[in-house]
Copies of this chain bind each other. A is one copy, B any other.
Amino acid sequence: MPEIERPPPSRSSPGVRALSWVEGSLVVLDQRQLPGAIVRRTLGHLAEVAEAIRTLTVRGAPTLGVAAAYGMVLGQRADGLGVDEAAGILRGTRPTAHDLFVGIAEVERVWRAGQDTLSAAAAYERRVVEECHAIGEVGAPLVGPGARVLTHCNAGALATVAWGTALAPIRVAFLSGRDPFVWVDETRPLLQGSRLTAWELQQEGIRHAVIADNAAGYFLGRGEVDLVIVGADRITRSGDFANKVGTYEKAVLARENGVPFYVAAPWSTFDETLRRGDEIPVEERSGEEVRNFAGIATAPEGSPVRNPAFDLTPHRFVRGFITPDGVLAPEELEGHLRARTRPLL
Protein backbone atom coordinates (compact mmCIF):
# COMPACT_ATOMS: atom_id res chain seq x y z
CA MET A 1 0.00 0.00 0.00
CA PRO A 2 1.30 3.50 -0.74
CA GLU A 3 2.07 5.65 2.29
CA ILE A 4 -0.60 8.20 3.11
CA GLU A 5 -0.33 11.48 4.85
CA ARG A 6 -2.60 12.30 7.74
CA PRO A 7 -5.44 14.68 7.00
CA PRO A 8 -5.40 18.18 8.50
CA PRO A 9 -5.27 18.09 12.31
CA SER A 10 -8.81 19.40 12.70
CA ARG A 11 -11.16 16.69 13.83
CA SER A 12 -14.12 18.41 12.27
CA SER A 13 -15.23 17.21 8.87
CA PRO A 14 -13.81 18.95 5.82
CA GLY A 15 -17.28 20.03 4.81
CA VAL A 16 -20.84 19.15 5.54
CA ARG A 17 -22.28 18.62 9.03
CA ALA A 18 -25.66 16.89 9.37
CA LEU A 19 -26.69 18.38 12.72
CA SER A 20 -25.54 20.50 15.66
CA TRP A 21 -26.79 21.22 19.16
CA VAL A 22 -27.32 24.99 19.36
CA GLU A 23 -28.61 26.79 22.46
CA GLY A 24 -30.91 24.09 23.71
CA SER A 25 -32.19 22.86 20.36
CA LEU A 26 -31.12 20.34 17.75
CA VAL A 27 -30.48 22.05 14.40
CA VAL A 28 -30.60 19.60 11.49
CA LEU A 29 -29.93 19.97 7.79
CA ASP A 30 -33.17 18.93 6.04
CA GLN A 31 -31.97 16.05 3.86
CA ARG A 32 -35.27 15.88 1.95
CA GLN A 33 -34.58 19.26 0.37
CA LEU A 34 -31.06 18.60 -0.89
CA PRO A 35 -29.56 19.29 -3.33
CA GLY A 36 -32.12 21.90 -4.40
CA ALA A 37 -32.11 23.89 -1.15
CA ILE A 38 -30.06 24.07 2.02
CA VAL A 39 -32.66 24.27 4.76
CA ARG A 40 -31.88 23.93 8.47
CA ARG A 41 -34.61 23.04 10.92
CA THR A 42 -34.53 23.80 14.62
CA LEU A 43 -36.06 21.00 16.70
CA GLY A 44 -36.96 21.98 20.24
CA HIS A 45 -39.03 18.98 21.31
CA LEU A 46 -38.67 15.21 21.29
CA ALA A 47 -41.75 14.84 19.09
CA GLU A 48 -40.11 17.02 16.45
CA VAL A 49 -37.00 14.86 16.51
CA ALA A 50 -39.12 11.71 16.19
CA GLU A 51 -40.97 13.22 13.24
CA ALA A 52 -37.71 14.30 11.58
CA ILE A 53 -36.47 10.70 11.88
CA ARG A 54 -39.67 9.18 10.51
CA THR A 55 -39.80 11.54 7.52
CA LEU A 56 -36.07 11.14 6.71
CA THR A 57 -35.43 14.82 7.39
CA VAL A 58 -32.49 13.31 9.25
CA ARG A 59 -31.27 9.92 8.13
CA GLY A 60 -28.29 7.60 8.03
CA ALA A 61 -27.69 5.16 10.87
CA PRO A 62 -24.98 7.03 12.82
CA THR A 63 -26.74 10.39 12.40
CA LEU A 64 -29.98 8.78 13.61
CA GLY A 65 -28.22 7.64 16.77
CA VAL A 66 -26.96 11.13 17.53
CA ALA A 67 -30.30 12.76 16.70
CA ALA A 68 -32.08 10.30 18.98
CA ALA A 69 -29.57 10.94 21.77
CA TYR A 70 -30.37 14.66 21.61
CA GLY A 71 -34.06 13.77 21.29
CA MET A 72 -33.79 12.13 24.72
CA VAL A 73 -32.29 15.34 26.11
CA LEU A 74 -35.19 17.34 24.71
CA GLY A 75 -37.68 14.81 26.09
CA GLN A 76 -36.24 15.37 29.55
CA ARG A 77 -35.56 19.09 29.49
CA ALA A 78 -38.09 20.63 27.13
CA ASP A 79 -40.99 18.20 27.41
CA GLY A 80 -40.73 16.91 30.98
CA LEU A 81 -41.23 13.32 29.83
CA GLY A 82 -40.27 10.27 31.81
CA VAL A 83 -37.30 8.25 30.62
CA ASP A 84 -39.41 5.25 29.57
CA GLU A 85 -41.78 7.36 27.54
CA ALA A 86 -39.02 9.33 25.84
CA ALA A 87 -37.06 6.21 24.93
CA GLY A 88 -40.21 4.42 23.81
CA ILE A 89 -41.27 7.14 21.39
CA LEU A 90 -37.83 7.35 19.80
CA ARG A 91 -37.44 3.56 19.58
CA GLY A 92 -40.74 3.42 17.68
CA THR A 93 -39.63 5.71 14.87
CA ARG A 94 -37.67 3.35 12.62
CA PRO A 95 -36.76 -0.30 13.18
CA THR A 96 -33.63 -1.17 11.22
CA ALA A 97 -30.69 1.10 12.10
CA HIS A 98 -28.94 -0.23 15.20
CA ASP A 99 -27.26 3.11 15.96
CA LEU A 100 -30.66 4.62 16.74
CA PHE A 101 -31.08 2.22 19.65
CA VAL A 102 -27.50 2.69 20.84
CA GLY A 103 -27.87 6.50 20.87
CA ILE A 104 -31.08 6.21 22.88
CA ALA A 105 -29.53 3.68 25.29
CA GLU A 106 -26.46 5.82 25.95
CA VAL A 107 -28.55 8.75 27.18
CA GLU A 108 -31.12 6.52 28.89
CA ARG A 109 -28.41 5.00 31.10
CA VAL A 110 -27.13 8.40 32.20
CA TRP A 111 -30.66 9.73 32.70
CA ARG A 112 -31.56 6.80 34.97
CA ALA A 113 -28.35 7.38 36.93
CA GLY A 114 -29.38 11.02 37.46
CA GLN A 115 -26.42 12.33 35.49
CA ASP A 116 -26.25 15.04 32.84
CA THR A 117 -28.00 13.84 29.69
CA LEU A 118 -26.74 16.66 27.48
CA SER A 119 -23.12 15.81 28.28
CA ALA A 120 -23.87 12.19 27.44
CA ALA A 121 -25.46 13.08 24.09
CA ALA A 122 -22.59 15.41 23.22
CA ALA A 123 -20.06 12.74 24.15
CA TYR A 124 -21.91 10.25 21.99
CA GLU A 125 -21.85 12.68 19.06
CA ARG A 126 -18.09 13.24 19.50
CA ARG A 127 -17.47 9.51 19.62
CA VAL A 128 -19.41 8.91 16.40
CA VAL A 129 -17.48 11.64 14.58
CA GLU A 130 -14.14 10.41 15.92
CA GLU A 131 -14.93 6.85 14.93
CA CYS A 132 -15.86 7.95 11.43
CA HIS A 133 -12.63 9.90 11.13
CA ALA A 134 -10.78 6.78 12.28
CA ILE A 135 -12.67 4.76 9.63
CA GLY A 136 -11.31 7.22 7.09
CA GLU A 137 -7.74 6.68 8.29
CA VAL A 138 -8.13 2.93 8.43
CA GLY A 139 -9.82 2.63 5.04
CA ALA A 140 -7.85 5.16 3.02
CA PRO A 141 -5.01 2.73 2.17
CA LEU A 142 -7.61 0.60 0.36
CA VAL A 143 -8.26 3.54 -1.98
CA GLY A 144 -5.20 3.54 -4.22
CA PRO A 145 -4.19 6.43 -6.49
CA GLY A 146 -7.00 7.08 -8.95
CA ALA A 147 -9.06 4.22 -7.53
CA ARG A 148 -12.61 3.95 -8.85
CA VAL A 149 -14.92 3.29 -5.91
CA LEU A 150 -18.59 2.34 -6.24
CA THR A 151 -20.88 3.35 -3.39
CA HIS A 152 -24.59 3.00 -2.77
CA CYS A 153 -26.95 5.37 -0.97
CA ASN A 154 -25.40 8.07 1.21
CA ALA A 155 -22.89 6.92 3.77
CA GLY A 156 -21.28 10.35 3.92
CA ALA A 157 -21.19 13.17 6.40
CA LEU A 158 -24.95 13.60 6.18
CA ALA A 159 -25.42 10.03 7.37
CA THR A 160 -22.88 10.20 10.18
CA VAL A 161 -22.83 13.86 11.40
CA ALA A 162 -19.41 14.33 9.78
CA TRP A 163 -16.81 12.47 7.67
CA GLY A 164 -19.06 9.57 6.71
CA THR A 165 -18.50 5.85 6.83
CA ALA A 166 -18.16 4.68 3.21
CA LEU A 167 -17.08 8.17 2.15
CA ALA A 168 -14.55 8.68 4.97
CA PRO A 169 -11.77 6.59 3.38
CA ILE A 170 -12.43 8.36 0.09
CA ARG A 171 -12.24 11.77 1.80
CA VAL A 172 -8.99 10.92 3.58
CA ALA A 173 -7.50 9.57 0.35
CA PHE A 174 -8.58 12.76 -1.43
CA LEU A 175 -7.19 15.04 1.30
CA SER A 176 -3.88 13.19 1.17
CA GLY A 177 -3.50 14.11 -2.49
CA ARG A 178 -4.72 11.04 -4.28
CA ASP A 179 -7.42 11.46 -6.84
CA PRO A 180 -10.19 8.96 -6.18
CA PHE A 181 -13.20 8.64 -8.46
CA VAL A 182 -16.61 7.66 -7.11
CA TRP A 183 -19.39 5.85 -8.97
CA VAL A 184 -22.53 7.12 -7.24
CA ASP A 185 -25.55 4.80 -7.45
CA GLU A 186 -28.51 7.18 -7.53
CA THR A 187 -30.30 4.89 -5.03
CA ARG A 188 -33.97 4.70 -5.75
CA PRO A 189 -36.52 5.33 -4.53
CA LEU A 190 -35.35 8.35 -2.53
CA LEU A 191 -32.16 9.09 -4.47
CA GLN A 192 -29.86 9.49 -1.49
CA GLY A 193 -26.97 8.77 -3.86
CA SER A 194 -27.67 11.35 -6.55
CA ARG A 195 -29.17 13.92 -4.17
CA LEU A 196 -26.85 13.59 -1.17
CA THR A 197 -23.66 11.70 -1.99
CA ALA A 198 -23.12 13.55 -5.29
CA TRP A 199 -23.78 16.83 -3.48
CA GLU A 200 -21.24 16.06 -0.75
CA LEU A 201 -18.62 15.05 -3.31
CA GLN A 202 -19.30 18.14 -5.39
CA GLN A 203 -18.86 20.40 -2.34
CA GLU A 204 -15.35 19.07 -1.92
CA GLY A 205 -14.34 18.64 -5.55
CA ILE A 206 -14.04 14.86 -5.46
CA ARG A 207 -14.44 13.33 -8.93
CA HIS A 208 -17.58 11.29 -9.42
CA ALA A 209 -20.32 10.21 -11.81
CA VAL A 210 -23.93 9.54 -10.93
CA ILE A 211 -25.40 6.38 -12.44
CA ALA A 212 -28.79 4.68 -12.37
CA ASP A 213 -28.60 1.79 -9.91
CA ASN A 214 -29.14 -0.45 -12.93
CA ALA A 215 -25.86 0.67 -14.51
CA ALA A 216 -23.54 -0.46 -11.69
CA GLY A 217 -23.45 -4.01 -13.05
CA TYR A 218 -22.53 -2.70 -16.50
CA PHE A 219 -19.50 -0.81 -15.19
CA LEU A 220 -18.51 -3.66 -12.86
CA GLY A 221 -18.69 -6.04 -15.82
CA ARG A 222 -16.42 -3.78 -17.89
CA GLY A 223 -13.73 -3.67 -15.19
CA GLU A 224 -14.33 0.00 -14.43
CA VAL A 225 -14.81 -0.43 -10.68
CA ASP A 226 -11.82 -1.18 -8.43
CA LEU A 227 -13.66 -1.60 -5.14
CA VAL A 228 -17.06 -1.15 -3.54
CA ILE A 229 -17.52 0.56 -0.16
CA VAL A 230 -20.93 0.89 1.47
CA GLY A 231 -22.19 1.81 4.92
CA ALA A 232 -24.57 -0.26 7.02
CA ASP A 233 -27.65 0.14 9.16
CA ARG A 234 -27.08 -2.95 11.29
CA ILE A 235 -24.36 -5.60 11.28
CA THR A 236 -24.80 -8.88 13.14
CA ARG A 237 -21.89 -10.61 14.89
CA SER A 238 -21.50 -12.99 11.95
CA GLY A 239 -21.07 -10.06 9.57
CA ASP A 240 -24.43 -10.40 7.84
CA PHE A 241 -25.75 -6.87 7.53
CA ALA A 242 -28.66 -4.64 6.56
CA ASN A 243 -28.14 -1.56 4.44
CA LYS A 244 -30.15 0.52 1.96
CA VAL A 245 -32.10 -1.66 -0.46
CA GLY A 246 -29.93 -2.49 -3.46
CA THR A 247 -26.77 -3.10 -1.43
CA TYR A 248 -27.20 -6.88 -1.70
CA GLU A 249 -27.40 -6.54 -5.49
CA LYS A 250 -24.06 -4.70 -5.58
CA ALA A 251 -22.44 -7.23 -3.25
CA VAL A 252 -23.43 -10.16 -5.48
CA LEU A 253 -22.29 -8.31 -8.60
CA ALA A 254 -18.97 -7.33 -7.01
CA ARG A 255 -18.20 -10.95 -6.15
CA GLU A 256 -19.24 -12.11 -9.62
CA ASN A 257 -16.72 -9.68 -11.08
CA GLY A 258 -13.91 -10.25 -8.59
CA VAL A 259 -14.18 -6.75 -7.12
CA PRO A 260 -13.60 -6.41 -3.35
CA PHE A 261 -16.59 -5.28 -1.33
CA TYR A 262 -16.14 -3.42 1.98
CA VAL A 263 -18.57 -2.27 4.65
CA ALA A 264 -17.58 0.77 6.71
CA ALA A 265 -19.25 1.34 10.09
CA PRO A 266 -18.69 2.71 13.60
CA TRP A 267 -19.23 0.36 16.54
CA SER A 268 -22.75 1.63 17.16
CA THR A 269 -23.87 -0.13 13.96
CA PHE A 270 -22.86 -3.59 15.22
CA ASP A 271 -25.58 -5.59 16.94
CA GLU A 272 -23.95 -8.38 18.91
CA THR A 273 -27.30 -9.77 19.99
CA LEU A 274 -28.04 -11.04 16.48
CA ARG A 275 -26.23 -13.71 14.54
CA ARG A 276 -28.01 -14.03 11.17
CA GLY A 277 -29.02 -11.26 8.79
CA ASP A 278 -32.61 -12.45 8.60
CA GLU A 279 -32.99 -11.66 12.30
CA ILE A 280 -32.73 -7.94 11.46
CA PRO A 281 -36.12 -6.22 11.17
CA VAL A 282 -36.47 -4.66 7.71
CA GLU A 283 -38.60 -1.54 7.45
CA GLU A 284 -41.08 -1.48 4.58
CA ARG A 285 -42.03 2.09 3.73
CA SER A 286 -44.96 3.61 1.90
CA GLY A 287 -45.48 2.71 -1.75
CA GLU A 288 -45.88 6.40 -2.46
CA GLU A 289 -42.09 6.75 -2.34
CA VAL A 290 -41.95 4.62 -5.50
CA ARG A 291 -45.24 5.65 -7.08
CA ASN A 292 -44.53 9.39 -7.15
CA PHE A 293 -41.62 11.70 -7.60
CA ALA A 294 -42.08 15.26 -6.37
CA GLY A 295 -45.82 14.84 -6.82
CA ILE A 296 -45.61 13.45 -10.35
CA ALA A 297 -46.87 9.90 -10.90
CA THR A 298 -44.17 7.40 -11.88
CA ALA A 299 -46.57 4.45 -12.01
CA PRO A 300 -50.27 4.04 -12.78
CA GLU A 301 -52.54 5.17 -9.98
CA GLY A 302 -53.55 2.13 -8.02
CA SER A 303 -50.71 -0.12 -9.14
CA PRO A 304 -49.53 -2.02 -6.05
CA VAL A 305 -46.01 -1.25 -4.86
CA ARG A 306 -43.64 -3.08 -2.50
CA ASN A 307 -41.04 -0.83 -0.92
CA PRO A 308 -38.56 -2.47 1.46
CA ALA A 309 -36.16 0.27 2.60
CA PHE A 310 -33.29 -2.15 3.30
CA ASP A 311 -31.96 -5.48 2.21
CA LEU A 312 -29.79 -8.12 3.83
CA THR A 313 -26.36 -9.11 2.61
CA PRO A 314 -24.75 -12.33 3.88
CA HIS A 315 -21.23 -11.95 5.25
CA ARG A 316 -19.73 -14.22 2.60
CA PHE A 317 -19.91 -11.31 0.15
CA VAL A 318 -17.85 -9.00 2.39
CA ARG A 319 -14.07 -8.75 1.94
CA GLY A 320 -13.74 -6.66 5.08
CA PHE A 321 -15.38 -4.38 7.60
CA ILE A 322 -13.66 -1.01 7.82
CA THR A 323 -13.97 -0.24 11.55
CA PRO A 324 -12.34 2.38 13.78
CA ASP A 325 -9.98 -0.37 15.01
CA GLY A 326 -8.91 -1.66 11.59
CA VAL A 327 -10.17 -3.68 8.66
CA LEU A 328 -11.68 -6.91 9.94
CA ALA A 329 -12.58 -9.99 7.91
CA PRO A 330 -16.06 -11.37 8.66
CA GLU A 331 -14.55 -14.30 10.56
CA GLU A 332 -12.60 -11.92 12.82
CA LEU A 333 -15.65 -9.92 13.74
CA GLU A 334 -17.24 -11.93 16.52
CA GLY A 335 -14.04 -12.31 18.52
CA HIS A 336 -13.23 -8.64 18.17
CA LEU A 337 -16.72 -7.62 19.25
CA ARG A 338 -16.57 -9.89 22.29
CA ALA A 339 -13.23 -8.42 23.34
CA ARG A 340 -14.49 -4.85 23.18
CA THR A 341 -18.09 -5.27 24.30
CA ARG A 342 -17.99 -3.88 27.80
CA PRO A 343 -16.51 -0.41 27.20
CA LEU A 344 -18.88 0.05 24.27
CA LEU A 345 -22.32 -0.34 25.76
Contact = CB atoms under 8 A, between A and B. Distances in A.
Contact of A215 (B256, B291, B299, B306): B306
A311 B6 CA distance: 40
A218 B297 contact: no
17 contacts: A188-B212, A189-B212, A194-B290, A194-B291, A195-B298, A208-B303, A210-B287, A213-B214, A214-B249, A216-B249, A217-B246, A217-B249, A219-B306, A249-B253, A252-B252, A293-B294, A293-B296
Given A35-B301, A215-B245, 4 more contacts: A36-B297, A213-B213, A215-B306, A218-B282
Contacts of A81: none
A198 interface: yes
B296 A198 contact: no
A80 B66 CA distance: 71
Contact of A218 (B212, B214, B216, B245): B245
Interface in A162-211: 184, 186-189, 191, 194-195, 198-199, 201-202, 208-211
A300 B188 contact: no
A343 interface: no
Contacts of A291: 194, 210
Given A186-B188, A210-B290, A215 B296 contact: no
Given A293-B296, A299-B186, A299-B194, A304 B208 contact: yes
A310 to B, nearest CB: 8
A307 interface: yes
Chain A: interface secondary structure?
Answer: mixed
A248 interface: yes
B210 A308 contact: no
A264 to B, nearest CB: 19
Interface in A270-312: 282, 287, 290-291, 293-294, 296-308, 311-312
A248 B217 contact: yes
B218 A290 contact: no
Interface string A218-243: 11010000000000000000000000
Nearest to A305: B210
A110 B300 CA distance: 42
Nearest to A185: B214
Interface residues of A, number: 56
Contacts of A287: 210
Interface string A150-172: 00000000000000000000000
A311 B214 CA distance: 9
B188 A213 contact: yes
B306 A213 contact: no
A155 to B, nearest CB: 15
A217 B242 CA distance: 13
Contacts of A213: 188, 212-214, 246
A311 B217 contact: yes
B256 A306 contact: no
A304 B201 CA distance: 11
B246 A212 contact: yes
A252 B256 contact: yes
A290 B212 contact: yes
A222 to B, nearest CB: 9
A218 B298 contact: no
A258 to B, nearest CB: 13
